[in-house]
Structure 1
């Protein structure tokens, strides 16, 4: 009868520790899933950003600048995260030569991840402000308040995740009240995401458009629902980790969800910018009625009647118009022209490349 002590170890079907592999997966090394999710997330985020930059190369705005900053922060985070993986993150402590270095790198990557996540949120708010706000002060103030609240939440999140914690001791002891910290961080994340889901619906329902087009616009922002789901899954995994022994091996599951959260947060901030969604907002596809003629470098005109017997010095023609449309990848120029008895004067607006869903324009033409 064979001695149990001499029996070979149980073989895991997922074990790839034998052989020359870039990121082996074995009973004492679970770094491979972290490599996969972080690399794929980075590729997808940069790929979607490239599409956005191509689409909006002529209408680049502050919302685009923030998502670029967020993606660059995510890229730096990925580099730091890769260094942490190379130093032993995802492995049992016995295989790591410098546990403090691994902890410091993972700690820094976590802070960068949270910053990138909130930069993506701010980009989404500025996109809403750019699309729906022109001269409407109330709507503008609402977007500004939401932006300020999101910035405060982002700062609070970074502070709560790091205050009182020693980076070099990340994998030797837990920070105090970590479950409470991450519960609050997740709550702030969910609150800001719910606002980003409700705000577009509130703004778009004030427009004079078909309900189908409104729903299509709202649907473009609803992809952020997954951010809430990933945030909750990360919290559940984080609480399980906090209740166990701190270790670069035990923290694998929370980090997988955190990397997934970052990738989708960056991607979902760009989805509303894709042309497939923006096309539904244009006059050509949306069938909007224009208050005045707008063409790409066109010469649309108004025929204004004479003011009758009024003295020429007091003759004045005025009009007010409201338009509901989006100006996308081409320049637009609006011209208002008046004619009277062989005389002609004109007033032209500057060329515009901005993306607008709702714009209210008031003009007055005075003839003296």
Structure 2
């Protein structure tokens, strides 16, 4: 039944009723896409102003965002021609067009998830200098690369896209089993990445609280596992539907949520310098380099891309103590050494020592740095 529009008002862009749900997928896709683009702008802001230059993970995330935009455009196009409308209201050639658009959006959905995982692998690779860790990351990357190739073939090969849907499982045999296999690969990869992050953080000698803060950022992709599981559950009811153009909206809503959340989670690693700049410097970097403010950074592991490598602190034998630098010679007079905190007034010439701690070595360099001002007064010995 047509909606009666009051005089002077325009009809709604989309109608949501018992036969039309296209408005739902349009709204969800638009909101999710805007959030992904905002997160991309945050990452660009951090890389341009706070922590340049660009790394390979930033380039990969940019490619993943482009893929997500293309996927959203395909969904918008499908909704404009009838996706979300009851199938009995559509012609066969329209159903075929929707069918092709849905398959294309599925392909870009898988590509976007794959690129987001590649972005996480690139981030982890920048954080660790250990060859064993890098080999593990290469193994995860090879597994997810093989998974994306197989997944695309699974959803496109041996499916009758040249005829309209009757029921999805009749048009493509074992359709739900195929997506079960694809989702299992995706979830396995996400769990492997999370386990790797736990191993990466476990070996660091630092307080529990900073470790938990780091783990929250690394665990930001865990909700993606739940989103994909819910999507698969909704997809199961879709495969036996006699009204697929209408009933597909439910699982495609979760598709948009999972796809865009995978991009948003990649920005979690950049939120600390961004929030520091916004809350303390009104959006500017200030006088300090926010990219070097992390407590788990090591100067020795710094790469040419402005990032720091995580390194475990190993117990080492204590180095031989350095000779006293200000020990007076016998009979030469009396020496008084006083130390003052930075910023205190001593009334004498002060020299700030900016060197590393004496006796520090290995991955402990530049982690703990103390500024001390020394004032030395020398007076002749009255006994001589």
TM-score by length of 2: 0.69
CA apart distance, 1:196: 1.9
Identify the residue that residue 273 of structure 1 maps to in structure 2: 270
Pair 1:197 & 2:194 matched: yes
Identify the residue that residue 68 of structure 2 maps to in structure 1: 74
Pair 1:48 & 2:48 matched: no
CA apart distance, 1:167: 3.1
- Structure 2: gaps of 5 or more residues: 6-10, 277-289, 307-352, 368-384
CA apart distance, 1:106: 1.5
How far apart, in 2, do the equivalents of 1:198 and 1:170 lie? 43
Pair 1:120 & 2:116 matched: yes
2:363 alignment partner, one of 317, 322, 345: 322
Identify the residue that residue 19 of structure 2 maps to in structure 1: 28
Question: 1:68-96: CA deviations, max 9, x gaps?
Answer: 10110000111111111101000012333
Whether the aligned pair in 2 keeps the contact of 1:107 and 1:170 (CA below 8 Å) is no
1:39 alignment partner, one of 30, 37, 58: 30
Identify the residue that residue 147 of structure 2 maps to in structure 1: 153
Identify the residue that residue 356 of structure 1 maps to in structure 2: none
How far apart, in 2, do the equivalents of 1:152 and 1:107 lie? 20
Aligned-pair Cα RMSD in Å: 3.0
How far apart, in 2, do the equivalents of 1:236 and 1:34 lie? 18
Aligned length: 290
1:298-337 aligned at under 5 Å gives the runs 321-323=362-364
CA apart distance, 1:255: 0.7
1:352-367 aligned at under 5 Å gives the runs none
Question: 1:114-168: CA deviations, max 9, x gaps?
Answer: 111111111111111111x22x211111111111112112222222222212334
CA apart distance, 1:320: 6.2
1:261-300 aligned at under 5 Å gives the runs 261-275=258-272, 284=293, 286=295
SS class of match (2:246)? coil
Whether the aligned pair in 2 keeps the contact of 1:49 and 1:270 (CA below 8 Å) is yes
Identify the residue that residue 92 of structure 1 maps to in structure 2: 86
TM-score by length of 1: 0.71
1:227-242 aligned at under 5 Å gives the runs 227-242=224-239
2:104 alignment partner, one of 104, 108, 131: 108
Whether the aligned pair in 1 keeps the contact of 2:14 and 2:22 (CA below 8 Å) is yes
- Structure (1 or 2) with the larger CA radius of gyration: 2
Whether the aligned pair in 2 keeps the contact of 1:87 and 1:96 (CA below 8 Å) is no
CA apart distance, 1:322: 2.1
The range that moved more, 43-52 or 95-104, is 95-104
CA apart distance, 1:302: 7.6
How far apart, in 2, do the equivalents of 1:289 and 1:69 lie? 30
Identify the residue that residue 346 of structure 1 maps to in structure 2: none
Identify the residue that residue 137 of structure 1 maps to in structure 2: 131
